[in-house]
């Protein structure tokens, strides 16, 4: 493959909320503002390289095979099965905390494959990039999960029917939905938070969980905010992971008291998300949750956003 006219492409992929209470490993949505940037450019030196990573305090590897963005692009280049007449350099800018439960690794993977695809003249459709981005998740969690990365790449609410190969369904996004994200300044590694999950689940809890998931999806399609609120309840994962997050129960109660439709753990935590019907409600919910963390001496970051239905995008050429 020969070079296109573009010498450099900078892409952005947003932060995401996975699980969404009752949808463990199968449901996710994207938000505005937070996310990662990846710049892809041509190099005279053959091969793929990560030339710089910023915003992660030196915690992430530059070795391509060990980095989520690098592994995702390697997977894409391998699928092309076409020898490049040039090299590709990646510059990664992390704009959200690692281990926050907001899909940091997924955002890097999605932004990387999106940027390189644009640089090469779009040999793949956006939807075709998903399997490559999913491969990048192997570097972060040891498993290829599509819930965060599909939301980051495609935007909006997504449902993952299967992870390997990824079969993803875009869901409706009610216009009034706002999301409050609160991130206590502690870090939880996805690998560790998965280890504590139970391997067996009581049948009645499973029945309740998939009923909640079905009714949540129905609520999204019918713009039924009351039904969405009645469905945002996690019977299985939240009770186990909540013990890792100081002040979790108090924050959840505060969010619901101040009008949240529902409140649960974002991904593997420690961030919590709450959904509401207006920005004013979302801000009040955030203040109330922040008061809880202040009372136990924890610093935190607060973020308010509507649902991001755009997904990955080019920000500079």
Q: What is the pLDDT of residues 164-214, one digit of tens each?
A: 888 999 999 999 999 999 999 987 766 666 676 778 999 999 999 999 999
Architecture of domain 8-172+308-316: 2-Layer Sandwich (3.30)
Q: Which of 190, 238, 281, 284 is catalytic?
A: 190
What is the average pLDDT across 89-95?
96
Going by their DSSP bridges, the two strands 87-94 and 47-54 should be labelled as parallel
- In this predicted structure, the answer to whether residue 103 has a pLDDT above a threshold of 80 is yes
Name the band, by pLDDT with cuts 50, 70 and 90, for residue 222: very high
Residue 138 has pLDDT above 80, yes or no: no
Domain spanning 178-306: CATH superfamily: GHMP kinase, C-terminal domain (3.30.70.890)
Confidence bin at 139 (pLDDT 50/70/90)? low
Q: What is the mean pLDDT of residues 237-243?
A: 93
Q: State mean pLDDT over 142-164.
A: 90
Q: How many CB atoms lie within 10 A of CB 313?
A: 15
What are the tens digits of pLDDT across the range 48-79?
999 999 998 888 999 999 999 999 999 999 99
The residue annotated as part of the active site, out of 91, 135, 137, 235, is 137
The mean-pLDDT minimum among 91-95, 96-100, 104-108, 220-224 falls in 96-100
Q: What pLDDT score was predicted for residue 82?
A: 75
pLDDT of residue 186: 87
Task: Note the pLDDT of residue 140.
Answer: 64
190 is catalytic: yes
Mean of the per-residue pLDDT values for the chain? 93
- Percent of the chain scored above 70 by pLDDT? 94
Q: Residue 38: which residues within 8 A CB-CB, separation 6 or more?
A: 10, 11, 13, 69, 90, 91, 92, 93, 108, 111, 112, 114, 115
pLDDT over 90 at 152, yes or no: yes
Q: Is 178-306 the same fold as 8-172+308-316? A: no
pLDDT at residue 85, as a whole number: 82
Please state, in angstroms and rounded to a whole number, the distance separating the CA atoms of residues 176 and 181. 16
Question: Rounded CA gap, 15 and 33, in Å?
Answer: 8
Domain coordinates of the chain in residue numbers? 8-172+308-316, 178-306
Strand partners, 303: 181
Look at residue 142 in the predicted model and tell me its pLDDT.
64
Q: How confident is the model at residue 316 (pLDDT cuts 50, 70, 90)?
A: confident
pLDDT at 14 over 70: yes
């Amino acid at each position: 493959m020969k070079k296109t006219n573009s010498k450099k492409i900078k892409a952005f992929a947003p932060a995401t909320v996975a699980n969404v209470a009752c949808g463990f490993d199968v449901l996710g949505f994207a938000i505005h503002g937070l996310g990662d940037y990846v710049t892809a450019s041509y190099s005279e030196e053959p091969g793929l390289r990560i030339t710089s990573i910023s915003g992660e305090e030196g915690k992430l590897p530059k070795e391509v095979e060990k980095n989520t963005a690098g592994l995702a692009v390697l997977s894409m280049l391998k699928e092309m099965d076409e020898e490049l007449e040039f090299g590709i350099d990646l510059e990664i800018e992390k704009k959200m905390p690692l281990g926050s439960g907001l899909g940091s690794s997924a955002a890097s993977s999605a932004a990387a494959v999106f940027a390189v695809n644009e640089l090469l003249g779009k040999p793949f459709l956006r939807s075709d990039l998903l399997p490559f981005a999913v491969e990048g998740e192997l570097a972060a969690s040891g498993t290829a999960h599509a819930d965060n990365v599909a939301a980051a790449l495609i935007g909006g609410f997504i449902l993952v029917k299967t992870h390997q190969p990824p079969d993803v369904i875009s869901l409706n996004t009610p216009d009034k939905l706002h999301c409050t994200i609160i991130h206590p300044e502690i870090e939880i590694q996805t690998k560790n938070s998965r280890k504590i999950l139970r391997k067996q689940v009581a049948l009645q809890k499973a029945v309740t969980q998939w009923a909640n998931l079905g009714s949540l999806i129905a609520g999204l399609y019918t713009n039924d905010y009351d039904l969405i609120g009645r469905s945002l309840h996690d019977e299985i994962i939240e009770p186990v992971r909540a013990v890792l997050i100081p002040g979790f129960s108090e924050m959840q109660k505060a969010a619901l008291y101040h009008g949240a439709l529902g409140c649960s753990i974002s991904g593997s935590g420690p961030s919590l998300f709450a959904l509401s019907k207006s920005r004013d409600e979302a801000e009040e919910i955030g203040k109330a949750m922040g008061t809880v963390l202040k009372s136990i001496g924890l610093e935190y970051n607060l973020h308010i956003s509507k649902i991001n239905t755009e997904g990955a995008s080019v920000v500079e050429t």
